Each structure stands twice: as structure tokens, then as C-alpha cells.
Amino acid sequence: MLKKVSTMTVLVSCCVILIGLGLLAYIGFYNRYWGDDWCYNRDFKNLGAIGAIKTYFFSGEEASRGYSTNRYSLTLLSGLFYIPDIFGTQIIALLIIVLWLGGLLWIGLNLSKISERTPKAVGSLGVVFLLYYVLYLAPDRFEILYWRSGVHYSFTIIMGIYIIGLITHQMGRVEPDKLASYLVAPLAFVAGGLSETGCAFLVSMIVLLLAAAWIGRRKKVDWALKSYPTILIAFIFLLASMLVLIVSPSNSRYDNMAVKSTSMLVVPFKSFEFALNFIVDSLKSLPLPHVILIVFFVSLSILSAFLDSTKRVITFNELGFSLLVVTIITFLLISAVQAPSVKFYSSYPEPRAQSLSRFMMLSGLAVIAWMIGQAVLNKYRIQWLLLVALIGIGLGTVYTARLITVNYTELAGYAYRAKLWDQRDRDIKLAKAQGEETVEVIAIDTHDIDVQDIMRSKDMNGNWVSNCGSDYYGLVAIKAIAH
């Protein structure tokens, strides 16, 4: 009876959270071109694919006028979504969620093969719960999920997940898979080229994993022997991507910016400070969601022990060491996210870049909560703990359902924005057909979803996004004016 109730609880909770992810994906179908999208559209339409790629070599003032930057993989990503026109932009959120979810499930499957412990249903529920909270609590969900030129931060995480997927795939095999080593090389090189922040994050992640595998290899540990070559290849190609970002001619655009850089000697200390501030601010500003996540994963850990009688519980000595290791790794990776902005701008990363920090923080908390749940099993009887676990999962599910209703209230704002955009697109094309070269359009500032139309400018040619939009439509100028 208890097992049936537990299974039903897992299924109901999973369905509720999948509905939340489905709603986020559905909202994405109201995506339209925004901001930098116009510049990439202009490049691909007027210059073609090869010409757009060549803009990587632009420098100085030319590189500051809305052309592609040193983030060479962002140009590739934007080009792929440009091919199917608006539909490519509409399916971005769906694609991100499916790829992200699929990658996490793949890693979970690989790890379950290695450990032969966690039931697949429980692991799947943990994955969908974590993904929903990462997206819901993202510092700028609009930009990492719905804005075509901002989703490279999401794809940094996704590609990083698939790199880890290939590595854990090697760990669980009897013999290493050569194909996995071949695939990890281009994947790592493309992933590193999405942004300086993402590259620093991925390099740091692989360095930590490489160090662990190197130690394990010296001790003849099976997983390290199998995965070390693949980790090393990923490390080499991530370093290559970092070098390409550093030597990019378009970096000369920084010479035209009034920014203050930070000495390399100071960067680590400021990065640690900013990482700590991010963690403290997250816990202070969003206490309840973090508590819910911790309670949910502690409960899920206990439930997994009930459903899997062969599961080995963790001792308190093991718990202390494991908590220390996970905390240090999480903090170091959050610090790595801060480093590029500290170096180049002496400031915190933009909110969309801090989504990497949010992902690491929530993932670290989930792992810590899981280990706590395993340690608690040593002290109390599983029958009593099971009741507590079911209540904890139920509370987490109810709270998540409440968050989903908040997402639903945002749907009208996205739909309204799409309606205004479609009307403006028709007006511009009609004006162009009538021979007009300068067009005024209504600015689309949808404050209810906190999205401002950055095409809006003070004068007809005073904004580079307006210039890119004008070139894309074949006009002299477009001016977005207030209502």
C-alpha cells in the first residue's frame, strides 16, 4: 500500500512540474525578434552565412556597430535559428527545455548505471523539479529562455551538460567509447565560444573534473581510467575556444568603451567576494523557494531509499566530507561565473549571465539536500521518515503549482507583445511597399513582463538596433516612438 502511494505521489508531482515546463515552452511561441536579433538578421540577410561569420574579424569602430562579436558560437546559433525565420525564434524555449531536460536525464541514467541505486522515477522527478526552479528563479528568465540573442547562456549550460553526459557515458561502459571522445571535441569548442562568462565556467568545471580523474587514475579507479582521456580532450578544446575568444579582433571594441578593468591579481579575490554576495543575496531575497527545494530533495532522497531496498545510506562522517566537497565545488564554479565581468568591467555579471550561478547554486543545494536525506536514514525508522517524505514532496508540489499560476498570469503580456510586434511588422512592410524610406513605429514597451523595446531611440539614427532593423527591412531609418 505504501509503495503504491509513494509511486502515485511521484507521478502526480512529476506531471504537475511538467505542466509548468510545458507552459514556459508554450509562452515561447509568442517570441519575436528583439534587440540584437535585428543585427544578426541584417548580417545573414545582407551578407549571407559566410559574410556574417567574417564579421568576427571586424575591429575598432566597425565592431561596435552591431556586428557579430568575438562570441563566434553565438553567430552560429543565431544563424541556425534565423533559417526558419520567426518559427525558429518561437521554438527556442521548447528546444531549450527539451535539450536541458534530456541532458540531465541522460546524466542521471549514466550515474544510475554506475551506482545501481536510484530508481529512475525518483531521479526523473528530481531532474524536472530542478529544471523548473532553475528557469523560474533565473535572474532574467526572458533573456535566457525567450530572447534569441540571449539564449547562449542557456546553451552554455546545455552543452556543458552534454559534455558531462559524454564523460559519464564513458564511466559506465565496459570499454571506452571512441565516438564519445570524438564528439566531445567539437561540442567543447562550440560551447566555449558562446561567451567569455560561459567559457570561464566550463573551463573551471572541466579543470575540477580533470583533477579528480587524474587523482583517481593514479589510484587505478575504474571510472577515472575510462573517462580521463575524454575529460582531457574536452579540456584541450575548451582552452582552444578561450584562446579564440581572447585573440578575436573584435575585442578592440572595448577600446571604445569607458570601462575600468581589474588587475589579474585582484580578480580571484573579487570573484570570491561577488560569488559570496550572490549566494547571500539569493537566500535573502528568495528564502522560501530555496527552503522548498531543500525540503523536496531531502524528501526525495528518503523516498528513493524506500523504493530501492539495496540503497546504501551515507554515514555522518561521509556526509561531512561530502558536504564540504560539494560546497567548495559549487562556490568555485559560481566564482568562475563572476571572473570575466570582474576582469573586464570591475562589476557583477549581467543578470542573464548570473543564470549560470543560479543553476550551480540550486544544483549544489539539491545534491547537499539529497545527501542529508541519506544521512538521516541512519537515525530514524524508514516507515516514519516515509510519511514525512511524502508530506515534503506534497508541499513542494503544491508550492510549485502556485508558481505555475504566476507563470500563467504572464502569458497575456507575452501574447500582447507578440500582437503589437506582428502589427508593427506589417506596418513597416506596407510602408516599404509604398516607397517610404523612413518609418515611425510604436514602441513595444510591455512593462507587465518587464520587457523594454530597445529599438526605441532619441533620434532617427541614434540607436544601433534601429540601424540594424532599418537595414534588415531595406529602409533608411526606423524610429520607435512612445504611445
Task: Tell whether 244 and 119 lie within a shared domain.
Answer: yes
CA angle 231/234/238 to nearest 5° reads 140
Instruction: Determine the Cα–Cα distance for residues 228 and 212; give it in Å rounded to an integer.
Output: 9
Beta bridge partners of 438: 477
* Summary mean pLDDT of the chain: 88
Last residue of a domain, one of 413, 441, 472: 413
pTM for the structure as a whole:
0.92
Instruction: Tell whether 84 and 140 lie within a shared domain.
Output: yes
Identify the band that residue 248 occupies on the pLDDT scale cut at 50, 70 and 90: confident
pLDDT tens-digit map of 327-372: 999 999 999 999 999 988 888 999 999 999 999 999 999 999 999 9
Minimum mean pLDDT range among 240-244, 449-453, 474-478: 449-453
Q: Does residue 64 register a pLDDT over 70?
A: no
Mean pLDDT value of segment 96-110? 94
Q: In this structure, are 356 and 466 located in the same domain?
A: no
CA distance 276 to 429: 50
Q: Percent of the chain having pLDDT more than 70?
A: 89
Instruction: State how many domains the chain has.
Output: 2
Residue 253 has pLDDT above 80, yes or no: no
- Mean pLDDT, residues 423-430 taken together: 92
Question: Which residue type occupies 199?
Answer: C
pLDDT in tens, 312-333: 666 777 788 889 999 999 999 9
Quick: pLDDT tens for 158-178. Answer: 999 999 999 999 998 888 888
Contacts of 183 (CB under 8 A, 6+ apart): 166
Contact 59, 82 (CB under 8 A): no
Which is nearest to 41 in space by CA: 79, 94, 6, 71? 79
322 against 116, higher pLDDT: 322
- Let me know whether 320 and 444 are in one domain: no
Same domain for 404 and 448: no
| 332 & 430 share domain | no
Range of the domain at 319: 2-413
Q: Are residues 401 and 470 in the same domain?
A: no
Q: What is the pLDDT of residues 387-421, one digit of tens each?
A: 889 999 999 999 999 999 999 999 998 998 899 89
The one-letter code for the residue type at 167 is I
408 and 446 in a single domain? The answer is no
Q: What is the mean pLDDT of residues 128-148?
A: 95
Q: What is the pLDDT at residue 111?
A: 85
**In the beta sheet, which residues pair with residue 441?**
480
Contact 168, 110 (CB under 8 A): yes
Query: Confidence band (pLDDT; 50, 70, 90) for 57?
Result: confident
Q: Give residue 468's pLDDT.
A: 85
pLDDT of residue 102: 96
> What pLDDT does 15 receive?
95
Q: Domain end: 413, 435, 460, which one?
A: 413
Residue 175: its pLDDT value, please?
84
Region at 450 (left for phi over 0; alpha for psi -120 to 50; beta for the rest): left
463 shares a domain with 367: no
pLDDT at 460 over 50: no
The 3-state secondary structure of the chain reads: CHHHHHHHHHHHHHHHHHHHHHHHHHHHHHCCCCCCHHHHHHHHHHCHHHHHHHHHHCCHHHHHCCCCCCCHHHHHHHHHHHCCCHHHHHCHHHHHHHHHHHHHHHHHHHHHHHHCCCCHHHHHHHHHHHHHHHHHCCCCHHHHHHCCCCCHHHHHHHHHHHHHHHHHHHHCCCCCCHHHHHHHHHHHHHHHCCCHHHHHHHHHHHHHHHHHHHHHHHCCCHHHHHHHHHHHHHHHHHHHHHHHHHHCHHHHHHHHCCCCCCCCCCHHHHHHHHHHHHHHHHHHHCHHHHHHHHHHHHHHHHHHHHHCCCCCCCCHHHHHHHHHHHHHHHHHHHHHHHHHHHHHHCCCCCCCCCHHHHHHHHHHHHHHHHHHHHHHCCCCCHHHHHHHHHHHHHHHHHHHHHHHHHHHHHHHHHHHHHHHHHHHHHHHHHHHHCCCCEEEEECCCEHHHCECCCCECCCCCCCHHHHHHHHHHCCCEEEEECC
pLDDT of residue 130: 97
Q: Give the per-residue pLDDT at 119.
A: 64
305 & 451 share domain: no
**pLDDT tens for each residue of 192-210:** 999 999 999 999 999 999 9
Which whole number is the average pLDDT over 379-389?
78
Verify that 169 and 274 share a domain, yes or no. Answer: yes
Which residues fall within 8 angstroms of residue 288, CB to CB, at 6 or more apart?
399
In terms of pLDDT, which residue wins out, 443 or 217?
A: 217
pLDDT value, residue 316 = 73
Pick the range with the lowest mean pLDDT from 49-53, 141-145, 353-357. Answer: 49-53
Q: Is 116 left (phi over 0), alpha (psi -120 to 50) or beta?
A: left
**Of the residues 413, 447, 465, which one is the last residue of a structural domain?**
413
Burial grade of 115 (CB within 10 A; 0-12, 13-18, 19 or more): exposed
345 and 454 inside one domain: no
Higher pLDDT, 254 or 128: 128
What is the pLDDT at residue 259? Answer: 65
